[in-house]
Structure 1
Amino acid sequence: MRQGLAERGPQSTALPIEIGFLAHHGQPPETLRQAAVLARLTGVPADEFLLRHGLVEETEFYRALAAELGLPFLSSPRLSRAAGYPESILAGLAPLNESQAGFVMAPRGPSLAWLLKTRPRDRALAVTTPSRLREAVFRVQARGIAQRAASDLAEESPDLATGLGYGQITVLFTIVAALVFGGTLAPGSAAAVLGTILSPLFLGMIVLRLSAAILRSPVESEEQPSRARDADLPVYTIIAPLYREKRVVAGLLHALSRLDYPATKLDIKLVLETDDRDTWNALQAIDLPGNVEIIVAPGGEPRTKPRALNVGLPLARGRFTVIYDAEDVPDPGQLRLAVARFADLPPHVACLQARLTIDNTDDSWLTRLFTIEYAVLFDVFNPGLAEIGNPIPLGGTSNHFRTEILQTIHGWDAWNVTEDADLGIRLARLGYEVMDLPSSTLEEAPSTLGTWMRQRTRWMKGFVQTAAGHSRKPWSLLRQLGLWRMFGTLVVTWGIVLSALVYPIFTGLFLTLWLSPPAEPLASRWEAAEHAYGLTLFVSGAAATFIPACVALHRRKLWRLLPWVPLLPLYYGLVSLAAWRSLWELATATFRWNKTSHGLARTSRTGGSKGTRRGSSTRDR
């Protein structure tokens, strides 16, 4: 590198103005020159290269800047309530309170270069670091930030917020009570009526699952895009909401460090809760990269993942934003592949859903069945839905968004406990599309029934919220989606909920009817047709369970799990139990976010995450 610099002559080695001043404040000129060259190759300002690679510590950099400009450095600026969120943080400029009249600034990039060129002598200016400026804004605007994170969607787009009111809950439980009462008095008639009403949804689910299994969707991209130059890549924001993650946060940072993406173009935001001192202390013990920000969400309700995401989203600096959970291990090439895919897709494609796959498959019988379920969902069903243009309930992690669109639609519904499914449907209603991203992210499945049941109860509770919220104005839904996409939306929301609720009832009735010989011949052709229809629905439902599972195992090269496929009906019986539990929780603890223990994996299919996850208790994302 030094030989190349010498060949370019003295002019090429001139330091950029945004870092040149550091040579007068103790920084080695040769380090600054090399950083300037690498910054040009990466396509970022030289100061950001220095800071994000940790070549100069943030406080040291901004103290030197203050000394260079002859301005005071504030280690704990006290801001006026006029300081804006997120505007003051993104601009690097905020008004001070009356006792410190003036403005405090934490410039970077072009604004830093301009400042050093003009060298203002205004005594009303002071300097601080970007981290301290952000913390100061959060202190003075904590209540407003909490309110915005919790209620922005409901206030700006109330028709798209899915929180259930007490009236909707009352109607829902009245219907359930009527079904239970009718099933007790006349089970045969009640089942016939219910089956007739729900059969379009069941048939729709069967058709979608079988159609998805037919469509070709390899796990990895068959055509690798040409490798873009680092200078051509955009800034990419990563938001990871954390809660009680002290034992896995180091593993998360290690996984993010393995991403094949320029560190200077990664904008990583770890969002913590105010009472999570353990995770905070664990992070303080780690030498954090310069591209990692720790954001502490102000206290408030609801205590959910989407509220934490809404705190971090307004501060995203990247053209694209991806959500990762604390235990995630994404494929190193995932961000580059997402950038290439977005470049080839029309602007109304707002999100790419990566493939989630279970790593601790061999921990228990439950994790084996969970692995099959995830393979069906992320390697067969969701890619198939994307291919035919059906709205997709997103997975909770590895969603890659166009940041501007995500901010425009007000992020996530903080009151929906399955916020990912809701967001996928909301994107479709607003005219956007979700596409598949053939890149894998490793996840950990709960290995005990109690943990699994709490997690699945929350998921089903959120699906009820999503289904009820998006269907409360059917004419609006029809106008936004059209007939067939509206039907597809009902299938992947209400269809999932209702099929889980009635699964054991219908299965038991069918087996009773078909395994017990009738006392007398069928009385009419209508009765014979009814039995034939029931048989067709049952057989096709079984096919829609087993065929996609076999296709998924083939795509994931997990044929060793084939002997576990016959146990899927038992597994879906447990899903049904979780669905019924979710109705009770919907009435008694509507917005409670059930915690899921992670970091307990005993096995690893890949060998890449076992050691970094063990022993952590986290809120499942």
Structure 2
Amino acid sequence: MLNHYRNDIFLKSGLITQEVYAQIEEMSKSLNKSFLKVTLNYAFLSRLKFKEHLQSLNISFFQFDYTSLSKIKKELTKEEFDFLLDQNLYPLTLKEGKVDLVTADPSDDISITRFKVFFGYEVGTIYIGEDLDIVKAMHMTYGGVILRKAVFELYEKDTKSSALETFTLRQVLVLGILGFIFLSVLLFYPVTTLIGLNLFINLFLLLAIGFKFLLTVVGARSETIQKISQAELSEIKDEDLPYYTIQLPVFKESEVIYKLASNLQNLDYPKEKLDVKLLIESDDEVTFNAVKNLKFPCIFDPVIIPYAQPKTKPKACNYGLHFSKGTYLTIYDAEDIPDSDQLKMVHSLFKKLPEEYIVIQCALNYFNKTENFLTRMFTLEYSYWFDYMLPGLDGLKVPIPLGGTSNHFKFDKLIELGGWDGFNVTEDADLGIRAYAKGYKVTVLNSTTYEEANNAFYNWIRQRSRWIKGYMQTYLVHMRNPAKLYREVGLNGFLGFQFFIGGTFFTFLAYPVLLLLFLFYIFLTFDISSHFVGSLNTEIINFFKLIFPEWVIIISVFNFMAGNLLMIYINMIAVFRRKSYSLILYAITNPVYWLMHSISAYKGLFQLVSKPFYWEKTNHGLTKEHKPETE
């Protein structure tokens, strides 16, 4: 039975103070959300504390059966869906013009009255349920239409931009014809063909690494990322700031939910202007229960994504788009620690940029950089990638593949682009290319989000194989029509795409080949073969000498040595912008780190054929360090 005295629930119990009560009531009116929705989603009260208080009043909670949820209408309009979510209400059954309701707040007669007016139904029995259970029931009951859009909208709007079809018929035919020609030539001219293939691999590898070196040089000279001063930030007034959506896609991340809630509290942005969506998969009971039992207040509005394949981050983010209300939108991973003023910096920069700039990419780096060898190498890699490579792309006006988080969008333009491709496992890089192809611009900003560097070998391989597989997907999608891509992005963009997107995975695939040739060169040069004549077939050795004549091996060895030296140099200079001088000697071990990339690349290539949409889960929360280090 409804208790109409909210004071008894919240004030007399001491759950919140009179001052906070007034603030919540004001926000509830301005946002048109229920009192409890604002209380729990804007960090005024923890879910666990509210739950325990209701239990102390001997209130029992309604238990949903998610396998047999009833509907009051076949489908809800988007307006009706949003209304029920905002009021924390779930309608159970409709009988003779009356609806039974589940509410999360026993004292909330205001939302009940709003329901009667909005739907025109009388209310029958009222049950009390936990707010997250109501949210989950709502999405699982009425989220089907939105879920389909989240998965297939890009494919249906722009089929050729979706990675749903890994290889098009034309690509299969072209690859088949090229393969047939290669095998035919190989049959008749085996030595010349193999030498030619070797030279092609070496030439492309040299150009790809040379292009990255050029980007580093341009990025090192570029001052374009120094765009917003502290003086400009200090002039921003809270009342002038827009509504800002933050998406937080999580999956089996209960171990970092507490850190996430704490990190969000540190953002320097008006609480009432944040629209933080925590995206939870409906079958992820671990994270769901962790959020239900959080011991301290948190700023996020949980969105439960109904089950559907592919189970990917972009699908979850697309679903979340339909419940987002910000002028701008960004994505953070669960363990991310963004600079506290990042949102204000992005807003200030968007106000200064021309209209065609629709995405701002902030730098990513790691807070556990000195934990072990892997985290040190990961930090070196991210430092040169975000502090030099991306500014270099920006300086050369080449399409910028976005990073996985801290990319800030103009919301309306993101919707215009069709959101993310739910079938691409590096949806961020793909979206950056699609934005550029549509005539929009991406730029970078000198604000950092700190993440957790992967500190476990097999976990790192899983993550990196997914990234490289996604680059392969992105390359295949945008090379379905090379002439069209050239027209859309121009010569600089086309060449940049070849050497940056294509060159990235090609380099890792080719690296073991060059390594073997280097070892073969050592084998021959120092006449090591003479010690194995008894066990090795001399004819085999002579055949290898025939297809890899000395001049070819010299070119391969030069590329191998030059490529490694260039990447060591790039890694070394990466430490200077962030003054991480303790990492500089680790750059020498880059050849070993590259070999790990090659393992990941071949795993990604195998999965590209066997299970292209499979999202290799990266486990977070493995580190013992939780704060950015200062040098």
Q: CA deviation at 1:229?
A: 1.7
Residues 56/242 of structure 1: CA separation in 2 closer, same or farther (3 Å cut): closer
Report the residue type matching 1:292 in the other structure.
Answer: F
Q: Is the contact between residue 225 and residue 445 of structure 2 (CA under 8 Å) also seen in structure 1? A: no
1:392 corresponds to 2:400: yes
1:598 corresponding residue in structure 2: 620
Are the structure 2 counterparts of residues 276 and 136 from structure 1 closer, same or farther at C-alpha, using a change threshold of 3 Å? closer
Distance 2:514 2:470 in 1: 24
1:257, CA displacement in angstroms?
A: 0.9
Q: Which residue matches 2:471?
A: 463
1:160-204 deviation digits (Å, cap 9, x = unpaired): 113343545786699689989969964434302444566655543
- The Cα of 1:24 is off from its aligned counterpart by 12
CA distance in 2, matches of 1:358, 1:179: 45
Shift in alpha-carbon separation, 1:372–1:77, aligned structure 2, 3 A? same
Match of 1:255 among 252, 263, 268: 263
Over 3 Å counting, the alpha-carbon distance change for 1:153 and 1:559 in structure 2 is same
CA distance in structure 2 between the partners assigned to 1:566 and 1:121 by the alignment: 67
Aligned-residue offset at 1:155: 0.6
Does the 8 A contact of 2:310 with 2:613 survive in 1? yes
Q: Which residue of 1 aligns with 2:541?
A: none
Query: What amino acid is aligned across from residue 297 of structure 1 in structure 2?
Result: I
Whole-Å Cα distance in 2 between the matches of residues 86 and 577 of structure 1? 49
Q: Which letter does structure 2 place at the counterpart of 1:579?
A: A
Give the equivalent residue in structure 1 for 2:198.
191
Correspondence 1:555 to 2:577: yes
- When residues 369 and 288 of structure 1 are mapped into structure 2, their CA distance, relative to the original with a 3 A threshold, is same
Q: Distance in 2 between matches of 1:573 and 1:258?
A: 39
Q: Please state whether the residue corresponding to 1:482 is helix, strand or coil.
A: helix
1:385 aligned counterpart, secondary structure: helix
Residue pairs, 1:281-430, within 5 angstroms: 281-286=289-294, 289=297, 291-430=299-438
How far off its partner does 1:435 sit?
1.1
Distance 2:406 2:483 in 1: 32
Deviation at 1:208, TM superposition (A): 2.8
The Cα shift of 1:45 comes to: 7.7
Cα offsets for 1:320-352 (capped at 9, x unmatched): 111111111112111111111111112221111
How far the C-alpha of 1:35 sits from its partner, in A, is 2.7
1:35 aligns with 2:23: yes
Counterpart of 2:442 in structure 1: which amino acid? V
> What is the Cα deviation at residue 317 of structure 1?
1.0
Correspondence for 1:148: 149
The answer as to whether partners of 2:227 and 2:349 remain within 8 angstroms in 1 is no
For the pair 1:124 / 2:121, whether they are aligned, the reply is yes
Q: C-alpha distance in 2, partners of 1:443/1:331?
A: 11
Question: In the alignment, does 2:82 pair up with 1:82?
Answer: no
C-alpha distance in structure 2 between counterparts of 1:439 and 1:418, whole Å? 22
How far apart are residue 472 of structure 1 and its match?
Answer: 0.6
Query: What is the CA-CA distance between 1:559 and the residue it aligns to?
Result: 0.8
The 10-residue stretch of structure 1 (407-416 or 126-135) with the greater mean CA deviation from structure 2: 126-135
In the alignment of these two chains, the number of paired residues is 562
Separation in structure 1 between the aligned mates of residue 607 and residue 176 of structure 2, nearest angstrom: 12
1:443-454 maps to which residues of 2 (within 5 A)? 443-454=451-462
Q: Write out aligned runs for 1:201-240 (5 A).
A: 201-216=208-223, 224-227=231-234, 228-240=236-248
TM-score, with normalisation over the residues of structure 1? 0.77
Q: How far off its partner does 1:156 sit?
A: 1.0
Call closer, same or farther: CA 1:573–1:411 in 2, change over 3 Å. Answer: same
Given that 1:328 and 1:443 are in contact with CA atoms closer than 8 Å, whether structure 2 keeps it comes out as yes
Change (3 A) 1:95 1:546: closer
Tell me whether 1:475 sits opposite 2:483 in the alignment. Answer: yes
**Residues 1:439 and 2:447 aligned together:** yes
Change (3 A) 1:546 1:100: farther
* Partner SS, residue 255 of structure 2: coil
**In structure 1, what residue type is equivalent to 2:510?**
V
8 Å CA contact retained: 2:261, 2:299: no
Give the RMSD, CA atoms, in angstroms.
4.6
Instruction: Please list the CA deviations of residues 396-455 of structure 1 after superposition, one character each: whole Å capped at 9, or x if unmatched.
Output: 111111111112222111111111111111111112111112111111122222111111
- 1:373 aligned counterpart, secondary structure: helix
Amino acid at match of 2:218: S
Q: Secondary structure at the match of 1:239?
A: strand
2:302 equivalent to 1:280: no
In the other structure, the counterpart of 2:495 is 487
Q: Deviations over 1:21-77 (max 9, x none)?
A: 98999979964895399869x99789889645566999xxxxxxxxxxxxxxxx999
Structure 1 residues 87 and 415: alpha-carbon distance in aligned structure 2, compared to 1, 3 A threshold: farther
Is the contact between residue 79 and residue 140 of structure 1 (CA under 8 Å) also seen in structure 2?
no
Aligned counterpart, 1:161: 162
Paired residues of 1:219 and 1:555 also in contact (CA < 8 A): no
Change (3 A) 1:537 1:198: closer
- Picking from 95, 98, 105, the partner of 1:99 is 95
CA gap 1:87/1:185 in 2 versus in 1, 3 angstroms? farther
User: What TM-score, normalized by structure 2, do the two folds share?
Assistant: 0.76
Superposition deviation, residue 357 in structure 1:
0.8
| Aligned counterparts of 2:576 and 2:238: Cα–Cα separation in 1 | 36
**Segment drifting more, 42-51 vs 202-211:** 42-51
Please say if residues 84 and 137 of structure 1, whose CA atoms lie closer than 8 Å, have aligned partners that are also in contact: no
Distance 2:429 2:179 in 1: 23
Counterpart secondary structure, 1:553: coil
Q: 1:546 to 1:225 in 2, by over 3 A?
A: farther
Quote how far apart the aligned CAs of 1:488 are: 1.2
Percent of aligned pairs with the same residue?
Answer: 28
Output the amino acid matched with 2:76.
Answer: A
Q: Secondary structure at the match of 1:414?
A: coil
Answer yes or no: is the 8 Å Cα contact 2:42–2:300 preserved in 1: no
Call closer, same or farther: CA 1:178–1:303 in 2, change over 3 Å: farther
Which moves more between the two structures, 528-537 or 562-571?
A: 528-537
Matched position secondary structure for 1:357:
strand
Q: Which amino acid aligns with 2:280?
A: L
* Matched-pair contact (CA < 8 Å) for 2:195–2:552: no
Alignment deviations for residues 558-597 of structure 1 (CA, whole Å, 9 cap, x no partner): 1111111111122112212211121111122221111222
Contact kept, 8 Å, 2:90 with 2:138, in 1: the verdict is no
Given the superposition, is the C-alpha separation of residues 555 and 283 from structure 1 closer, same or farther in structure 2, using an over 3 Å criterion?
Answer: same
Residues 203-227 of structure 1: CA deviation (Å, up to 9, x unaligned): 4344334333343467896555233
Where in structure 2 are there 5+ consecutive unaligned residues? Answer: 48-63, 104-108, 528-548
Alpha-carbon offset, residue 154 of structure 1: 0.4
